[in-house]
Structure formats: structure tokens, C-alpha cells
Amino acid sequence: MTSNKFNLLLIALLLLTVSCSHQGEKKIITKKIQYDVTINNVRQNYDPWIENISESDRFIFVQKLLNAAYDGKIKAYDYFNKLLNSNEIKNLGVDTIYKTLTRTYPPYEEFDTLIINRINIRDINKIRFLEEWKMNETNFVFEKKVIAIAPVIDKYDSEGNLLGKQPLFWIYPEGKPN
């Protein structure tokens, strides 16, 4: 009789364990979601942790990311997922503009000039994430898996007008998916 009670208790524990394990299952919400995170907030009325990483921490993070890409320690890809070599990566931050200007003194002649702009580490003001999201439907606990990361700069035309945001390159921390 005691062994029957023990077997029933064992079966009850087994059923309880199996039923509880299903409550923790995570369902995929989306396989890909892309969004930008501001890492340099210039709004004075915001708390320092909102859309911001402290300047020293931001500098270290961005410098490590760029150096790893420049040195070939991580593979970097362009917007179309073409693998970039270190020279291509270093040239991403260089913008050359051919412009005709007018001298500021008489006789106010026009002259042609070549303007070469190189990005500064402080120009990287956002990080673009590509992620997969899963959620436990019982307790709404989210799990985010980072698929790719891109440092982002503001892109301007030759007149200084903001054209939009431009990712410099993409890296895939766990390897590029097929």
C-alpha cells in the first residue's frame, strides 16, 4: 500500500512539473524588428539616463566597436549585407564634396574647392538594433536577441541640410544569418 501512495505522489509531482514547464514557453513575437536607440541626448530637461550613455562610457563603447571593425576582429557589412574590408570601413566616415565658393573680399571671385569631412566619434549619436523578440504569454516576460548592431550618424547634403540617419556598417555578434 505504501508503494502505491509513493507511486501516486511521484506521478503527481511529474504531472505538476510537466504542466509548470509549459507555462514558461516563449513565443516569437517577431523574428526581426529594427529600431534606433539614441545614445547622446542633447535635451537638457531629461534625466541623464534617458536616451543617453554618459560621454565617457559612450566614447569607450563606440571606440571599441569601431576599432574591432577597423582591425578585422569583427566582420562588418554594408547596408546590402556585403562584407566590407578594413579600408572600406575606414572610408565610410569620409565625405568629399566639390563646391564652388565665392571669396568674401573684392572682387568676390568664385573658386572651386574640395571639402573633405571625416566623422568624429562624437558624430555617432545612435545605435541601430536588429533583434528577435520572444515573450512568455503567461507572465509577459520578454526576451530580446540582438541579431545585428549598427553605429548611426546624421547624414547631411552639401548645403548642410539633414538628409536622415545613416548606419555606418552592420555587425552580427553571433554571425550573419543566411
Is the entire prediction scored with pTM above 0.95?
no
pLDDT band at residue 14 under the 50/70/90 scheme: low
Q: What share of the chain has pLDDT > 90, as a percent?
A: 42
How far is CA 24 from each of CA 15, 52, 134, rounded to the nearest angstrom? 15, 33, 11
Range of the domain at 164: 23-93+120-171
Q: Has residue 14 been placed in a domain? A: no
Q: Has residue 79 been placed in a domain? A: yes
pLDDT in tens, 141-173: 999 999 999 999 988 877 788 999 999 999 999
pLDDT band at residue 120 under the 50/70/90 scheme: confident
Q: Has residue 59 been placed in a domain? A: yes
- Highest mean predicted confidence (pLDDT) among 9-18, 94-103, 106-115: 106-115
Q: Has residue 18 been placed in a domain? A: no
The region of weakest confidence among 46-55, 88-97, 104-113 is: 46-55
Q: What share of the chain has pLDDT > 70, as a percent?
A: 86
Residue 131 has pLDDT above 80, yes or no: yes
Domain tally, the chain: 1
Q: Has residue 16 been placed in a domain? A: no
The pLDDT mean for the chain works out to 84
Q: Has residue 81 been placed in a domain? A: yes
- Helix ranges restricted to H, the chain: 2-23, 55-70, 86-92
Strands 162-167 and 170-171: unpaired
Q: Has residue 70 been placed in a domain? A: yes
Q: What pLDDT, on a 0 to 100 scale, did the predictor assign at position 42?
A: 76
For range 134-139, the mean pLDDT: 91
pLDDT band at residue 13 under the 50/70/90 scheme: low
For range 27-56, the mean pLDDT: 84
Dmax (CA) for the chain in angstroms is 113
Among 86, 83, 61, 59, smallest CA distance to 73 is for 86
Q: Has residue 48 been placed in a domain? A: yes
Residue 51 has pLDDT above 80, yes or no: no
